[in-house]
Amino acid sequence: FGYIASIIGMFTYFWQVYVLGQTEYQVYLLPMGVYFLVLSYFTRNEKNRDIPKSFTYGGLFILLVPLMFQTFGDQGFYYSILLGVEGMLLLSYGITSSARLYRYIGIASIAASVFSQTYNVLFSLPRWVATAVAGLTFIAVAIFLLLKRKDLK
Protein backbone atom coordinates (compact mmCIF):
# COMPACT_ATOMS: atom_id res chain seq x y z
CA PHE A 1 0.00 0.00 0.00
CA GLY A 2 3.00 2.30 0.38
CA TYR A 3 3.62 2.44 -3.36
CA ILE A 4 -0.02 3.23 -4.06
CA ALA A 5 -0.04 5.98 -1.45
CA SER A 6 3.11 7.54 -2.88
CA ILE A 7 1.70 7.40 -6.42
CA ILE A 8 -1.46 9.10 -5.20
CA GLY A 9 0.72 11.72 -3.52
CA MET A 10 2.62 12.36 -6.77
CA PHE A 11 -0.62 12.70 -8.75
CA THR A 12 -1.94 15.10 -6.13
CA TYR A 13 1.21 17.19 -6.47
CA PHE A 14 0.94 17.21 -10.27
CA TRP A 15 -2.72 18.17 -10.11
CA GLN A 16 -1.98 21.01 -7.68
CA VAL A 17 0.81 22.35 -9.88
CA TYR A 18 -1.48 22.12 -12.91
CA VAL A 19 -4.26 23.98 -11.12
CA LEU A 20 -1.81 26.73 -10.19
CA GLY A 21 -1.13 27.17 -13.92
CA GLN A 22 2.52 26.16 -13.93
CA THR A 23 3.76 25.40 -17.45
CA GLU A 24 7.44 24.78 -16.69
CA TYR A 25 8.31 21.14 -17.40
CA GLN A 26 10.96 20.95 -14.71
CA VAL A 27 8.36 21.56 -12.01
CA TYR A 28 6.86 18.22 -13.02
CA LEU A 29 10.00 16.30 -13.97
CA LEU A 30 12.27 17.14 -11.04
CA PRO A 31 10.01 15.72 -8.29
CA MET A 32 9.23 12.65 -10.38
CA GLY A 33 12.91 11.94 -11.06
CA VAL A 34 13.83 12.45 -7.40
CA TYR A 35 10.90 10.19 -6.43
CA PHE A 36 12.23 7.35 -8.58
CA LEU A 37 15.77 7.80 -7.24
CA VAL A 38 14.55 7.75 -3.63
CA LEU A 39 12.44 4.70 -4.43
CA SER A 40 15.49 2.95 -5.88
CA TYR A 41 17.46 3.81 -2.75
CA PHE A 42 14.86 2.30 -0.45
CA THR A 43 14.39 -0.84 -2.57
CA ARG A 44 18.09 -1.60 -2.95
CA ASN A 45 17.89 -4.52 -0.50
CA GLU A 46 15.20 -6.35 -2.49
CA LYS A 47 15.86 -9.91 -3.59
CA ASN A 48 15.31 -8.94 -7.21
CA ARG A 49 18.15 -6.52 -8.10
CA ASP A 50 16.43 -5.40 -11.31
CA ILE A 51 13.80 -3.37 -9.45
CA PRO A 52 16.17 -0.79 -7.90
CA LYS A 53 18.20 -0.60 -11.12
CA SER A 54 15.11 0.15 -13.17
CA PHE A 55 14.04 2.85 -10.70
CA THR A 56 17.55 4.34 -10.82
CA TYR A 57 17.72 4.36 -14.62
CA GLY A 58 14.18 5.73 -14.86
CA GLY A 59 14.86 8.49 -12.34
CA LEU A 60 18.10 9.53 -14.00
CA PHE A 61 16.43 9.51 -17.42
CA ILE A 62 13.53 11.65 -16.23
CA LEU A 63 15.89 14.07 -14.47
CA LEU A 64 18.52 14.56 -17.11
CA VAL A 65 17.39 13.77 -20.66
CA PRO A 66 14.58 16.35 -21.02
CA LEU A 67 16.76 18.92 -19.27
CA MET A 68 19.62 18.21 -21.66
CA PHE A 69 17.35 18.90 -24.63
CA GLN A 70 16.09 22.10 -22.99
CA THR A 71 19.66 23.42 -22.72
CA PHE A 72 19.72 23.82 -26.51
CA GLY A 73 16.52 25.92 -26.52
CA ASP A 74 15.83 29.63 -26.27
CA GLN A 75 16.55 29.95 -22.55
CA GLY A 76 19.19 27.26 -22.59
CA PHE A 77 21.53 29.15 -20.29
CA TYR A 78 19.28 28.69 -17.25
CA TYR A 79 18.63 25.05 -18.04
CA SER A 80 22.35 24.53 -18.54
CA ILE A 81 23.01 25.88 -15.05
CA LEU A 82 20.36 23.52 -13.66
CA LEU A 83 21.90 20.59 -15.54
CA GLY A 84 25.34 21.50 -14.20
CA VAL A 85 24.03 21.71 -10.63
CA GLU A 86 22.30 18.34 -10.98
CA GLY A 87 25.51 16.92 -12.43
CA MET A 88 27.54 18.21 -9.48
CA LEU A 89 25.03 16.77 -7.02
CA LEU A 90 25.12 13.39 -8.75
CA LEU A 91 28.92 13.48 -8.89
CA SER A 92 29.22 14.33 -5.20
CA TYR A 93 26.74 11.58 -4.27
CA GLY A 94 28.64 9.12 -6.47
CA ILE A 95 31.93 10.00 -4.80
CA THR A 96 30.61 9.80 -1.25
CA SER A 97 28.68 6.58 -1.77
CA SER A 98 31.21 4.91 -4.13
CA ALA A 99 28.50 4.51 -6.77
CA ARG A 100 30.20 4.58 -10.17
CA LEU A 101 26.98 5.10 -12.13
CA TYR A 102 26.23 8.37 -10.37
CA ARG A 103 29.83 9.53 -10.81
CA TYR A 104 29.82 8.88 -14.54
CA ILE A 105 26.36 10.33 -15.08
CA GLY A 106 27.35 13.41 -13.07
CA ILE A 107 30.48 13.93 -15.17
CA ALA A 108 28.48 13.44 -18.38
CA SER A 109 25.87 15.95 -17.19
CA ILE A 110 28.48 18.58 -16.45
CA ALA A 111 30.12 17.95 -19.83
CA ALA A 112 26.75 18.20 -21.61
CA SER A 113 26.02 21.43 -19.75
CA VAL A 114 29.31 22.96 -20.88
CA PHE A 115 28.96 21.64 -24.44
CA SER A 116 25.45 23.04 -24.81
CA GLN A 117 26.76 26.53 -24.17
CA THR A 118 29.97 26.29 -26.19
CA TYR A 119 29.02 24.24 -29.25
CA ASN A 120 28.62 27.36 -31.45
CA VAL A 121 32.18 28.38 -30.67
CA LEU A 122 33.49 24.84 -31.18
CA PHE A 123 31.83 24.45 -34.56
CA SER A 124 33.05 27.83 -35.76
CA LEU A 125 36.71 26.79 -35.39
CA PRO A 126 38.62 25.96 -38.56
CA ARG A 127 38.44 22.33 -39.53
CA TRP A 128 42.16 21.68 -39.00
CA VAL A 129 42.00 22.91 -35.40
CA ALA A 130 39.06 20.64 -34.61
CA THR A 131 40.79 17.69 -36.27
CA ALA A 132 44.03 18.37 -34.39
CA VAL A 133 42.27 18.62 -31.02
CA ALA A 134 40.28 15.44 -31.70
CA GLY A 135 43.44 13.60 -32.76
CA LEU A 136 45.43 14.75 -29.73
CA THR A 137 42.56 13.76 -27.45
CA PHE A 138 42.38 10.33 -29.06
CA ILE A 139 46.14 9.82 -28.66
CA ALA A 140 46.06 11.01 -25.03
CA VAL A 141 43.22 8.61 -24.17
CA ALA A 142 45.04 5.74 -25.90
CA ILE A 143 48.26 6.43 -23.98
CA PHE A 144 46.35 6.69 -20.73
CA LEU A 145 44.60 3.38 -21.34
CA LEU A 146 47.87 1.67 -22.27
CA LEU A 147 49.55 2.93 -19.11
CA LYS A 148 46.53 1.90 -17.04
CA ARG A 149 46.68 -1.60 -18.55
CA LYS A 150 50.27 -2.04 -17.40
CA ASP A 151 49.30 -1.01 -13.88
CA LEU A 152 46.55 -3.64 -13.76
CA LYS A 153 48.91 -6.55 -14.48
pLDDT score recorded for residue 150: 60
Residue 152 reports pLDDT greater than 70: no
- The 3 state secondary structure assigned to the chain is CHHHHHHHHHHHHHHHHHHCCCCCHHHHHHHHHHHHHHHHHHCCCCCCCHHHHHHHHHHHHHHHHHHHHHCCCCCHHHHHHHHHHHHHHHHHHHHHHCCHHHHHHHHHHHHHHHHHHHHHHHHCCCHHHHHHHHHHHHHHHHHHHHHHHHHHC
pLDDT score of 136: 93
pLDDT in tens, 9-19: 888 888 888 88
Mean pLDDT, to the nearest integer, of 19-38?
85
pLDDT tier at 153 (50, 70, 90 boundaries)? Answer: low
- pLDDT tens for 52-64 read 889 899 999 999 9
Higher pLDDT, 150 or 58: 58
